[in-house]
Structure 1
């Protein structure tokens, strides 16, 4: 039911139809309240440069893969990044460190995915300033913080804002509830850079924009840890006549399904609600020889001990690469911010 509702809403938000026009007065109220909150908020500096990776479109645009890629790139350049997140749909109300064995029901699935992919110090808290302060207290050698989401969390001072625009673009260009945007399109004129992720350059802003390329190459067997290329699995399926299913509880599951099919795999797609909690084992009665799931879904599957031996399940990691010039741009900004912060501290 939730999947159908999400599909219906996004279909309405793709155009300026009757429903959107009827909701436009409510959007004006939403916009006014959001603007008022922003004006009254005083940003807090936490002592190190902060990079916010966010969006203005409600729901998934690929922020987390971009965050992971940025953390990896900065580590390769000698930085020691830490990550903070709200921990969406997690139960943490105060700062909690995300560890490799953390419960996604507590810390959220995306922060756990980031931790597993980068091994960077990661903290979650609804109040991101508190998350950042807790992280720096526990890891004082961290010299840059990446905030996964939080473009609208104005209480945290940021030195770099990256707005990710995903496959759905900007919808009809209106803010909630008449449209899918948290803020108007003009907000993109204020950010430092726009990251185009799986979308064409449809943004009319003059802000610098860069492309993030994403794709799938390999799959990891959930039970054995064996890494197998998708092309090999495709040939195996064709040769042995194997039945395959693809399940995804992400914002745009169609992209996951189409990428698998691009590798020659014939899969029966099953779209689950975004952030599906896997409280029930969805694979138990699944008649398939091969089951493909996303990394984001895999972190939720750990609650089912019986899945550890299910060799039908393959986790397909999304590989995202950032434009080198984007990383250069970010590094230049945070280097300048770090220098300025150091000079200010010396004057105290």
Structure 2
């Protein structure tokens, strides 16, 4: 395992296990907390100028995967179905491009990031990746007839104005040891939840939270996308499971819940794959997430499959989104 992989595993055990936190990390977390407060204070005194259209931010308080991107995809499709034209912005994690760039289904993930390509594949609307979310949002406003902007991540990007804040949390791991980075997984204190318009729990929800589920029921062949099998078709023999995401164990557990015998292969989030990472000599099926798959099409083999997930959430959640969105639109009209 690489140094990066060992470090990620050590932090995972520290943040979500029962290990004592080193004193040095506690000091760093204290300094980080002071910087957070100062930054919030700065943007309170000097708030960002509103954009011409509303912005919905889908973010989280912790490092790692909570389900933000699947929820952003769900929101884009939902708004499209309501006759509202969305545009999506994201940071482009794992990509080299620094300036805002339009993302398509054929974009290079090494340039724009894996999540950006996934969004372009699934959202059915314009997608722009950019490290500075405000610039990416302004680019969308200037070049596309969007009526609302969805920001996949960006909760802590306060240069980006927003009408609606949605915080997604892991319903199982929650906030780990409850400490700020680097002593814990938190980007901001848990009290930040009180400022959000909506809280979505990926998994088990608590009072005041919207429960969300991510279901993967089928596998799509990377070489022949028309070949689609149910996961049950892979029962009866082991399968390799590859995951370079924020919470890979969730993917492995989902496969096991479908009756699959899993041989897990964990990689760092946003890992840049090569053929040696996903090609095994035994010829067994290799299953991966769709986020991983967008980086593997170029060297995929016949036994490589990805498992797309669909977001399941109460239909009342969509109604609440429309209520908040129309409130923001009305506020802009009267301003």
Aligned residue for 2:223?
223
Aligned residue for 1:33?
35
| CA distance, structure 2, for counterparts of residue 49 and residue 158 of structure 1 | 7
- Superposed CA deviations along residues 242-281 of structure 1, whole A, max 9, x for unmatched, are 4421111111111111111111111211111111111454
Whether 1:142 and 2:146 are equivalent positions in the alignment is yes
Aligned residue for 2:332?
341
Aligned residue for 1:179?
184
5+ residue gaps, structure 2: none
| CA distance, structure 2, for counterparts of residue 295 and residue 192 of structure 1 | 29
| CA distance, structure 2, for counterparts of residue 142 and residue 115 of structure 1 | 15
Task: Give the Å deviation of 1:334.
Answer: 1.0
Counterpart of 2:278 in 1: which secondary structure?
coil
**Which 10-residue stretch deviates more, 326-335 or 50-59?**
326-335
**Which 10-residue stretch deviates more, 71-80 or 35-44?**
35-44
Counterpart of 2:292 in 1: which secondary structure?
helix
Counterpart of 2:96 in 1: which secondary structure?
coil
Aligned residue for 1:96?
101
Counterpart of 2:277 in 1: which secondary structure?
coil
| CA distance, structure 1, for counterparts of residue 101 and residue 138 of structure 2 | 11
**Over aligned residue pairs, what C-alpha RMSD do you find?**
1.7
How many equivalent residue pairs?
328
Task: Give the Å deviation of 1:15.
Answer: 5.2
Whether 1:233 and 2:234 are equivalent positions in the alignment is yes
Kept in 1, the 8 Å contact 2:77–2:124? The answer is no
Task: Give the Å deviation of 1:127.
Answer: 1.0
Aligned residue for 1:156?
160
Q: TM-score, normalised by structure 2?
A: 0.93
5+ residue gaps, structure 1: none
| CA distance, structure 2, for counterparts of residue 126 and residue 224 of structure 1 | 34
| CA distance, structure 2, for counterparts of residue 282 and residue 89 of structure 1 | 17
Counterpart of 1:164 in 2: which secondary structure?
strand
| CA distance, structure 2, for counterparts of residue 269 and residue 199 of structure 1 | 24
Counterpart of 2:213 in 1: which secondary structure?
strand
| CA distance, structure 2, for counterparts of residue 287 and residue 332 of structure 1 | 54
Sort the Cα spacing of 1:15 and 1:230 in 2 relative to 1 into closer, same or farther, 3 A.
closer
What are the equivalent positions in structure 2 for 1:310-329 lying under 5 Å apart?
A: 310-329=301-320
Q: TM-score, normalised by structure 1?
A: 0.90
| CA distance, structure 1, for counterparts of residue 23 and residue 173 of structure 2 | 20
| CA distance, structure 2, for counterparts of residue 276 and residue 70 of structure 1 | 26
